[in-house]
Chain A
Amino acid sequence: MNTKRVLGTIGAVLLAGGVLAACSGTGKEEDASGTADSGFTYAVITHSGPGDAFWDRVKSGAEKAGKDYGATVEYNADPDPAKQAQLIDAAVASKSDGIVVSMANPDGLEESVKAAVAAGIPVVTINSGVDRSAEFGAITHIGQSESVAGEAVGERLKSEGLKKAICVIHEAGNVGLEERCKSSAGAFGAMENLQVDGTDDAAVQASVTSKLQADPDVDTVLTLGGQYAVDAVNAVGESGSDAKIATFDLSEDVVSNIEDGKILFAVDQQPYVQGFLGVTTLYLKSVNGNDVGGGQPINSGPAFVTKDNAAQVAEYAAKGTR
């Protein structure tokens, strides 16, 4: 008898708690940024998994732009293209003033993006999907071509005189990551892929360590995300190998490791720029009818971070914006 009352109460409290958290959780609107509310709502929909440092920077950039322009920015993400398509449909249904979308798997999003454009909602693609962006009717694409960046990395590693590399793929089935490794290998030569579980840094470190111990000829570890470069630094230390490390994307720890000479260089595609410019492009469309980019993609990178310029980048990396 009593249990039931308790259960009922707990249920009610939980639901109420969820509601309260929702009403007082984000604090985006109450934030006094000194800008009048322009009344626009933009949806940012990416293919990121939960807790990804790179995409957190995209989100920060998009939200900063929203705050600066007095617009509401709603960020949602799902790595599964079918679910990402549903999020785009949801943005259309709630009559967003514009949509920023990353297209890791353009085929899966084609119908939804085209439907959004058909409904008169401006769309900007960011990060990946540059080849299909214009075809789907997006204003422009903001990002870094994976193949261009990959080739640049491969060339640079080759010019360092390195011979045999592993490319660490931290998310199974991620199309963009596969593309990076493929184009890096194309420019570099002997490079093989290593699959690791990116949700578990200890496991990443262990996998790289085993690989380095199993194959002493490997002299280069290329990682595709900031935190995995740090795992690789630890793995190199653990395995007693003298392999060099290079990485795509930044984090605070990567910058300090570059300063210490433990990481050779990082390729920064400047995710903050992708989020910020994505929302900016939509805002310009809303207030002034501009089509930024003139039908061409806009490059957000690559910017190389090496020992020479790491100190300047460090302060922004510490803020979590680079």
Chain B
Amino acid sequence: MAAAVAEDERVSGSSGVTKVLKRPESGAMVAALVIFAWFSFTTDAFATSGGSSTWLLGSSTIGIMAVAVALLMIGGEFDLSAGAMTGFTGLLVGVLTTEYGLNIWVAILVALVLALAVGALNGVLVMKTGLPSFIVTLGTFFVLQGVDLAGTKALIGQVAIQGMSRVPFYDQPRVLFGSALHWGENGSVYASVFWWVAVTAVATWVLMRTRVGNWIFALGGAQGAARQVGVPVFRAKVGLFMTTAAAGWLVGMLTLFRTSTVQSNTGVGQEFIYIICAVVGGCLLTGGYGSAIGAAFGALIYGMVNQGIVYSGWDSNWLRTFLGAMLLGAVLLNEWVRRRAELAR
């Protein structure tokens, strides 16, 4: 695995292209281009306005989570509760409004506060106990999964939110989370796509241009050393866990207001997909290396392959197999591009 090499005046400068290719996200960008070209040429609908709407939408919610998870992974931790969190927050708003008549904006805020609390709990448990975050967040994941099912069932007597669109003022947050801009023949760009771009831009700016970004790289690279040079390790780590929880809340809202429903199994099983997208985008499982844009491209690859297989009309029983092969191919291509860039002079 390559590590970022510090610039040094004794080393001869490399060309601009090589410099770009050395970035962690370069492989994912190339792989995304290859996959886009492949499906555009082999299927009729993939690159049409209507076709691109479907895979952009699919990529966007995964992408928001993948970017947040990438930040956390660069900081050297995992969050397996991120998937269940998307269902948890959506269900919470659905139950509070359809069953208890709480004002919809208040319910949205309550869900955010609770999500942040769970994120903080994850962070505090990891830091105080010294247990691996893999274990701690696996526990939170199971707890949330149970709450999503049992809590929802106990409060509303069924396992899916119904009648959300009849809640008073439903249309106000819907503008923010569930609306779409229409273009072309039957294309729609959903709000979640704009959120995805915004989240990716903010995360990239934080990583590249702020002190907090340096802290995150330091945390994942060498936590002990980071502590010695004055990085507030505890606060930064808890903040990162709260970030993935907040992203989970955002995706929960985006799902709820686009489809007007959430089920108690929503988001379960997605947590590894976020991690996979972050890794395809150049994050290392060991922390200290990666990028937010890369994770966004990783999610784009996942979304494109997922829908591209549908447009290709391949037998859907093999969907997961194709998906796995394509992801492996993307990771290998990724690795190859970066190594070539490292060697180029």
Contacts and interface: CB of A to CB of B under 8 A. Distances in A.
Interface string A15-55: 10110011001101000000000000000000000100000
Contact of B50 (A18, A89, A173): A89
Interface in A98-121: 105, 107-111, 115, 119
Nearest to B50: A93
A67 B121 CA distance: 56
Contacts of B148: 173
Specify the main secondary structure of chain A where it touches its partner: helix
A105 B160 contact: yes
Contacts of A174: 159, 265
B186 A93 contact: yes
Contact of B261 (A77, A81, A94): A81
A75 interface: yes
Given A14-B325, A85-B259, A172 B315 contact: no
A95 interface: yes
B325 A17 contact: yes
Contact of A107 (B260, B311, B315): B260
A195 interface: yes
B183 interface: no
A259 to B, nearest CB: 30
Contacts of B161: 107
Interface stretch (B65-73, B231-239, B287-295, B316-324): B316-324
A208 B137 CA distance: 29
A83 interface: yes
Contacts of A81: 259, 261, 263
Interface residues of chain B: helix, strand, loop or mixed (majority): helix
Nearest to B318: A25
B329 A11 contact: yes
Contacts of B53: 89, 93
Given A85-B259, A107-B164, A173 B51 contact: no
Interface residues of A, number: 49
Interface string B313-345: 111111111100110110011011001100000
Interface in A174-192: 174-175, 178
5 contacts: A7-B339, A18-B325, A72-B313, A178-B153, A178-B159
The 6 A-B pairs of least Cβ separation, nearest first, read A93-B50, A11-B332, A173-B265, A94-B45, A173-B264, A107-B261
Given A74-B310, A105-B160, 7 more contacts: A11-B333, A14-B329, A92-B186, A95-B45, A107-B160, A173-B159, A195-B149
Interface of B: 43-45, 48, 50-51, 53-54, 57-58, 61, 145, 148-149, 153, 158-165, 186, 255, 258-261, 263-266, 307, 310-322, 325-326, 328-329, 332-333, 335-336, 339-340
